[in-house]
Amino acid sequence: MSVSAETKLSKHLTCSYKSFGSSIELADVSSPDGFTSSHDDRDQSQDPVQLKELPSGSQEPFEPTKLKEMDEQCCALDTPVQVYAVSFIFAIGVTVALVTEIYLTPLAFIKGVVSDHERCTALGEKVLQDRGSSVDAAIVAALCLGIVHPHVSGVGGGGVMLVHDSRRNQTKVINFQGSAPQALTEDMVQNASDVKAGLFVGVPGMLLGLHRAHRLYGSLSWDDVVSRAADVAREGFNVSQSLAAAISQLETEKIEGRLRDIFIPDGQALKLGSYLRMPGLAEVLEAGFWNFYHGPISEEMEKEVIAKGGVLTREDIRDYSVEVQQPLECRYNEHIIQVPPPPSAGVALIAALNILESLFVVENNVAENQTSRWIEEALTRALTMVGELGDPNYNSSVTDFSAMISKGQGAGLQQRMKDFQQSSHASNSTIHRFPTEQLTGQVIVMGPDDLMVSVASSLSRPFGSRIVTESGIILNSLILDFFWPNQMREHPQSNQKNSLEPGKRPLTFLMPAMMVPTWNKCGSYMALSSSGGPNRLSEVTQMLVGLLFLHKEKNDTLSTGGLPPQLSNCKYDILFKSHPRLVLLRVIVVLSWFSPISHVSRGECVAFPCNGPSS
């Protein structure tokens, strides 16, 4: 008897999202009776363990007793007395061997930092070596990227951070994407060709967001963390290939003022390998976040923006706040995928995976070229759904995306996807056009403290608004991420929920993502990040399809050769962490008392690139 896709999918956990302010459960519209929160399913016997907010630089020691809950969950086995006896004897022997190894063998340092620049990666690794937290390392690397890649990110921009604490089995989203000034209205930007550069600038959230992350998870002092990045700006760095290419593009445009003085001094554009110092940025970082948001630096930004026709004020900067949220998550077999909630476009990733899961449940022995076409169509449909996203603080209907992430919708699209597979015609789905393709600074960290961090930050377009303050801060072009009439005349499709409003955060494709085990803390972990923009969603989807549905090894990823050109520009960084000895914790409870989990497991962090397009 054949089994329908709906029947098979009903066995899977549906997707969920719970905000910290209120409990919102998103049931699968195809089977409402079968809904279960993934949080509850992973640990129904206990209330969630809340993170305690510590002051910056806290050195509170780790308490081994906190691992008791993990031992109880991993070790509950119904076995005969004889098996208990054998297991106990075996456990004693293995325990002695492992304890001897722990005490006699130096702890191996786990290399777990990936970023877009080798110097920033090295800074993050040094923080871990100095017993800083994974979040400390991510902060240093992200600030460093804002210095060595000033065309991509910086303190004049914003971003999103995901932090997963495997000890507490808890993930938080720290949203520090910028917001629109209070005095900015759509009327001011109606004639796109006449809009002054200052009107593109939103409130920068980068520095305050990283400081909030440090308050929650930091180990080293804030000054120690920031000074490491400041040293890069003061001492200088060599221009990378990415920065050199962006500067070369500037030469073809009419630019003036400080931006030209810094990157095209005396009319000569900086080339690959040129040496560049930015001492003003070092002073900005060392002045601290208070001076940035409440002191003279905020006055400096206000003055510069108003001089360029903008409306950003010190009050806008002073009143900016960081949002700490829970992720949107969905279960696929033994893994849970976590992404930021709106105004991030993470919903699109979940929607695409749900469509693809329904196809892989029904079909067997799927050819790679067929898989590529499925991914193409699934992404097209998912991006159509993104047109319904925006800032939920300004439109409550944005949080009502149950149908958008329903696993049942994938089964309903099965026949249409088959028809697409057999046809040479492109999909008829209409994708809402998005104003900009965000450049993104990416950092991923997995340290020995069992924190997993993924950060994405951006100025929106290259060099943001092209406005540079006296201190060297390059200000963002955040407002271009909103939609307003006449912004893109050639693409009339619009997203009204992403319309420009005072104080609002725009829809963003800054989309760090994580994969965590379905059941408690035992299993494999992965952190992902891709360059921002609707076309970049394909790389993350492709990797997850290989792992979740095709069961490919981490170095045997799906080729992008079958995807169309706009979906096959492969550029992403991934860290994969495996705990090969965690299985011992099911038998040997005492192991958790000797050392943090990551030291016992000797987990390995591996950074690997995706396969390039096939020739």
pTM: 0.75
Token pair in block for residue 267: 């009319």
Question: What is the count of structural domains for the chain?
Answer: 1
The predicted pLDDT at position 495 comes to 64
Q: Is residue 100 part of a domain?
A: yes
Is the bond leading into 343 cis (omega within 30 degrees of zero)? Answer: yes
The predicted pLDDT at position 117 comes to 93
The predicted pLDDT at position 244 comes to 96
pLDDT tops 90 at residue 295: yes
* 533 labelled binding-site residue: yes
Asked which of 166-170, 219-223, 233-237, 432-436 is least confident by mean pLDDT, the reply is 432-436
Instruction: Give 353 or 139, the one with higher predicted confidence.
Output: 139
Complete edge-to-edge strand list for the sheet that includes strand 525-530: 328-332, 335-339, 513-517, 525-530, 572-578, 604-607
Nearest to 377 by CA among 408, 409, 418, 336: 418
Q: What is the pLDDT of residues 340-385, one digit of tens each?
A: 998 888 888 888 888 888 776 555 555 556 677 777 777 777 777 7
CB-CB contact of 281 with 147 (8 Å): yes
pLDDT band (50, 70, 90) for residue 71? very low
For the chain, the average pLDDT equals 73
Asked which of 254-268, 352-366, 480-494, 561-575 is least confident by mean pLDDT, the reply is 561-575
* 205 labelled binding-site residue: no
What is the b/e burial string over 133-170, where b = at least 16 CB atoms within 10 angstroms of the residue's CB?
A: bbbbbbbbbbbbbbbbbbbbbbbbbbbbbbbbbbbbbe
The predicted pLDDT at position 26 comes to 42
Domain membership of residue 99 as a residue range: 83-108
Instruction: Give 540 or 446, the one with higher predicted confidence.
Output: 446
Token pair in block for residue 23: 């409990």
Q: Is residue 52 part of a domain?
A: no
* DSSP 3-state percent helix, strand, coil across the chain (nearest 5): 40, 15, 45
Q: Is residue 97 part of a domain?
A: yes
Residue 65 bears catalytic tag: no
The predicted pLDDT at position 390 comes to 80
Cα–Cα distance, 524 to 605 (Å, whole number): 11
Instruction: Give 361 or 286, the one with higher predicted confidence.
Output: 286
Q: Is residue 167 part of a domain?
A: no
What integer is the mean pLDDT of 232-248? 96
Considering 74-78, 169-173, 505-509, 566-570, the range whose residues carry the highest mean pLDDT is: 169-173
Instruction: Give 36 or 305, the one with higher predicted confidence.
Output: 305
Please list the residues that pair with 76 across neighbouring strands.
none
Q: Which entry of 440, 541, 557, 560 is annotated as an active-site residue?
A: 440
At 568 the three-state DSSP class reads coil
pLDDT band (50, 70, 90) for residue 556? very low
Q: What is the pLDDT of residues 473-531, one digit of tens each?
A: 999 999 999 887 666 544 445 567 888 899 999 988 888 889 888 866 667 788 887 66
Extract the runs of DSSP E, i.e. beta strands, from 461-524: 513-517
The predicted pLDDT at position 289 comes to 92
Instruction: Give 20 or 607, the one with higher predicted confidence.
Output: 20
Cα dihedral angle (53, 216, 158, 503), rounded to 10 degrees?
-10
Asked which of 252-256, 274-278, 358-362, 488-492 is least confident by mean pLDDT, the reply is 488-492
- CB neighbour class for 537 (10 Å; exposed up to 12, middle 13-18, buried from 19): buried
pLDDT tops 90 at residue 122: yes
Q: Is residue 474 part of a domain?
A: no
- CB neighbour class for 430 (10 Å; exposed up to 12, middle 13-18, buried from 19): exposed
Percent of the chain with pLDDT over 70: 59
pLDDT band (50, 70, 90) for residue 98? low
pLDDT tops 50 at residue 607: no
